[in-house]
Structure 1
Amino acid sequence: MTSVTLLGVKGGPAIRPGAPMPTAHLLQMGGQNVVVDCGLGVSRGLIDQGVGVHQVDLILITHLHSDHYLELGPLLHTAWTAGRRDPVTVIGPSGLRAYVDGFFAAMAEDIDLRIADEGRPDLRDLVHLQLLEPGDVPNPAGLRITAMLNDHPPIAESFALRFDGDHSVVFSGDTATFPAMVDFAKDADLLVHEAMLTAGIDALCARVGNGDDRLKTHLLRSHTPAAEAARIATRAGAKQLALNHLVPSDDPDFTENDWRAEAAPHFAGPLHIGRDGLRIPL
């Protein structure tokens, strides 16, 4: 059975009491466990779904904002300490190499000690990095994956992903309203689309406290209002829509009802408002 679990649905890297965790997804398709993005909390999220961190078959990173790859290194290391001996492929933008190399350098003392003291294989040999580029995405899991550049300024290498097998699942990635998403998500069984509640942006920026007006500018030019995400899903003919990477996601003045009020008038199918641990079977 194909399913998508939203492991973390928060837009942005900050976590506060009562807040959801940053972005991460588990796609289970064709007998494979695929992780899409590795925000803080991804390892705990997998365990909570009954999936061992060493059981991940493939990891994809959509872009290099910290709420999408901060826990990639710890996930890989924890899988290794949990008994992983076979290679794992990580597919992501070109800058991901510097992160992985830096993580291995920072953890070299621990890695080398565990190799010598515990007889483990070298973690650095188990991680196979592959560049994510537009078009068909070759992968050892044998899945049909397609990538498309989206619109997430100022980042140039930011991708939407489509998985086609017994079902079709599309992840928008972080993006402004992007008309090409309609064709990319055509007839998808599930579109997982980022979403912003425009009415909550001023309160969010005030709460962050250590930025200036550039934060609001970034949010408004780089993300998709929930109503627009719903319109895209409708035009694409998507069967279900899940809103994730919610901005804001931890403001008590805005509830699921506010998200539904903005999106539901524009999409007639099943509408899922993201929450950590939400599993959507297909």
Structure 2
Amino acid sequence: MELLFLGTGAGLPAKSRNVSAIALQLLQERGTEWLFDCGEGTQHQILRAPVKLHRLEKVFITHLHGDHIFGLPGLLSSRSFHGAPSPLQVYGPPGLRSFVECALSISSTHLTYPVEWVEVRPGVVWSDERFEVRCELLDHVVPSYGYRVTERDKPGALRSDALKALGVPPGPIYGTLKAGGRVVLENGTVLDGREFLDPPIPGRTLAILGDTRPCASVRTLAQDADVLVHESTFHSDLAPLAHQYGHSTALDAAKMAHEAGTHALILTHISARYQDDVTHLLDEARAVHPNTYVATDFWTYAF
């Protein structure tokens, strides 16, 4: 998995930071890309990044503030102009569909592909045999959600040496055993694939949050995650202002990550007042959670 930050600013675009948008690239896992939030100008950022609209499979919107959604009608339109035929699933709070369909209707924009709209509420919003995505309601001035993406555990490696020691040659039998199946050999011996597998390989877990004050839902989403992407609109010297407007400081984010046992913390949604220097944001977060990074536009993080 790889995160590519297309916009890392808060509220309004700045010279060095566009507003919120994050691409989750699942090219090895699914051959697709997912997008989290879509602030104004996201499609312009995509032109400068290795993101392809025809590979875009899902869009997850955290909340309905403009710096997180104003780019979505244009992006959907551009995906249509690019000739993408595949369906697109869009997940978000109530009102998102009305906003986008109104913009498309008034502008006489017709999409060439179907859009499936999913109105999210706390709990699992989508799953298949490889991944599960769930969301929780956060604490902001409007309904705002965080998403937790969980990759399911993978079967452990097949212990082929043990099979060869039993005289079982490589072939289709190995595939059956690798899948955990049972095989009956010509001599009547029954082999159970589960007895020839190493322990399962743990799946990766990612939490991406919308705007929020510190709250219990953050800990729920971030618990033991490999990566937590957390807003960090302000430094702690502006904590009263942050909490008044439903935001977190870098110190808040670090405390949440520490309490949840998160491996890596990535700070984003940075106020324009810090565009020239984020050192003090990073320093106060790392004092609590050393494995912390501040995202910049077009920065990537693989895990």
TM-score norm. by structure 1 comes to 0.81
User: What residue number does 1:230 align with?
Assistant: 254
Q: Do 1:148 and 1:159's aligned partners in 2 also have CA atoms closer than 8 Å? A: yes
Q: Do 1:91 and 1:131's aligned partners in 2 also have CA atoms closer than 8 Å? A: yes
Alignment of 1:61-140 (within 5 A): 61-108=61-108, 111=109, 123=111, 126-138=114-126
Measure, in 1, the Cα distance between the counterparts of 2:104 and 2:275: 37
Tell me how many residue pairs correspond in the alignment.
249
Which residue identity lines up with residue 231 of structure 1 in the other structure? K
Measure, in 1, the Cα distance between the counterparts of 2:249 and 2:236: 10
- Please list the CA deviations of residues 32-55 of structure 1 after superposition, one character each: whole Å capped at 9, or x if unmatched: 300000012221333322121222
Which moves more between the two structures, 98-107 or 34-43? 98-107
User: What residue number does 2:146 align with?
Assistant: 160
Measure, in 2, the Cα distance between the counterparts of 1:162 and 1:92: 14
Which residue identity lines up with residue 244 of structure 2 in the other structure? L
Which residue identity lines up with residue 225 of structure 1 in the other structure? T
Distance change in 2, residues 1:199/1:158 (3 Å): closer
Give the structure with higher Rg (CA): 2
Measure, in 2, the Cα distance between the counterparts of 1:177 and 1:53: 34
Q: Do 2:33 and 2:57's aligned partners in 1 also have CA atoms closer than 8 Å? A: yes
User: What residue number does 2:288 align with?
Assistant: 266
Which residue identity lines up with residue 288 of structure 2 in the other structure? H
2:37 match: secondary structure: strand
User: What residue number does 2:7 align with?
Assistant: 8
Q: 1:187 aligns with which of 198, 205, 224?
A: 224
Measure, in 2, the Cα distance between the counterparts of 1:47 and 1:251: 22
Measure, in 1, the Cα distance between the counterparts of 2:274 and 2:265: 21
Q: Do 1:200 and 1:248's aligned partners in 2 also have CA atoms closer than 8 Å? A: no
1:196 aligns with 2:205: no
Distance change in 2, residues 1:249/1:86 (3 Å): farther
Q: Do 1:47 and 1:53's aligned partners in 2 also have CA atoms closer than 8 Å? A: no
Which residue identity lines up with residue 55 of structure 2 in the other structure? Q
Measure, in 2, the Cα distance between the counterparts of 1:5 and 1:167: 17
Q: Do 1:87 and 1:127's aligned partners in 2 also have CA atoms closer than 8 Å? A: yes
1:136 match: secondary structure: strand
Unaligned runs of 5+ in 1: 112-121, 203-215
**Superposition deviation, residue 201 in structure 1:** 5.4
Distance change in 2, residues 1:138/1:47 (3 Å): same
User: What residue number does 1:173 align with?
Assistant: 210
Which residue identity lines up with residue 281 of structure 1 in the other structure? A
User: What residue number does 2:20 align with?
Assistant: 23
User: What residue number does 2:271 align with?
Assistant: 247
- Please list the CA deviations of residues 96-120 of structure 1 after superposition, one character each: whole Å capped at 9, or x if unmatched: 1211221121221xx4xxxxxxxxx
Please give the root-mean-square deviation of Cα atoms over the aligned residues, in Å: 2.3
The structure whose residues are more often helix, as a share, is 1
Unaligned runs of 5+ in 2: 152-202
> Which structure ranks higher in relative contact order (CA pairs < 8 Å, sequence separation ≥ 6)?
1
**Superposition deviation, residue 59 in structure 1:** 0.5
